[in-house]
């Protein structure tokens, strides 16, 4: 994977320079953690068809690692997407159902579809925001744990 993407970037130096200047290709722990957070957030929201564009924009804004975001966004792949979206709609209805219905005075099949879409979006945000925060903190913690282990191993070898 690394050689294919590196070869593609070598053939497109303008894009490669842009990605490097925005921090989207940085391998620092903070950039990786931000990339994981962006990937989790976008992957757990109903943004099919726009995920890559949104991840690039999110990684550019937050200076996150785009490859990490892209890989982690596959949490919502074509196999898991249906069950996830169904669960998000049920969650959104359970948490926001009464409130949204009190504001919603339209009836009909199209109105019901729009209402379910609102529940899907709200439910996905209830999962995506804490998941992104947890992914960010967990990736920083794992990085720190691995670094401490390396430091101890080096100290023992001296």
- pLDDT, one tens digit per residue, over 91-123 is 999 999 888 888 877 778 888 888 899 999 999
Q: What is the pTM of this model?
A: 0.82
Indicate whether 1 pLDDT > 60: no
pLDDT in tens, 130-153: 999 999 999 999 999 998 999 988
Cα dist from 130 to 22, 37, 109, 149, whole Å: 26, 10, 33, 28
How big is the CA angle at 22 (ends 45 and 9), to the nearest 5 degrees?
Answer: 90
pLDDT in tens, 24-62: 777 889 999 999 999 999 999 998 889 989 999 999 999
Indicate whether 5 pLDDT > 80: no
């Amino acid at each position: 994977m690394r050689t294919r993407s590196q070869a593609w970037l070598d053939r497109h130096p303008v894009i490669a320079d842009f990605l490097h200047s925005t921090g989207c290709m940085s391998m620092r722990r903070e950039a990786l953690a931000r990339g994981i957070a962006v990937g989790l957030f976008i992957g757990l929201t109903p943004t099919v068809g726009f995920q890559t564009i949104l991840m690039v924009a999110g990684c550019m804004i937050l200076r996150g690692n785009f490859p990490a975001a892209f890989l982690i966004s596959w949490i919502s792949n074509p196999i898991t997407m249906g069950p996830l979206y169904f669960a998000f709609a049920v969650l959104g209805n359970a948490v926001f159902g009464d409130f949204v219905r009190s504001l919603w005075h339209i009836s009909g099949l199209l109105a019901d579809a729009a209402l379910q879409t609102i529940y899907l979006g709200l439910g996905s945000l209830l999962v995506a925001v804490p998941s992104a925060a947890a992914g960010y903190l967990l990736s920083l913690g794992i990085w720190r744990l691995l670094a401490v282990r390396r430091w101890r191993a080096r100290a023992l070898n001296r």
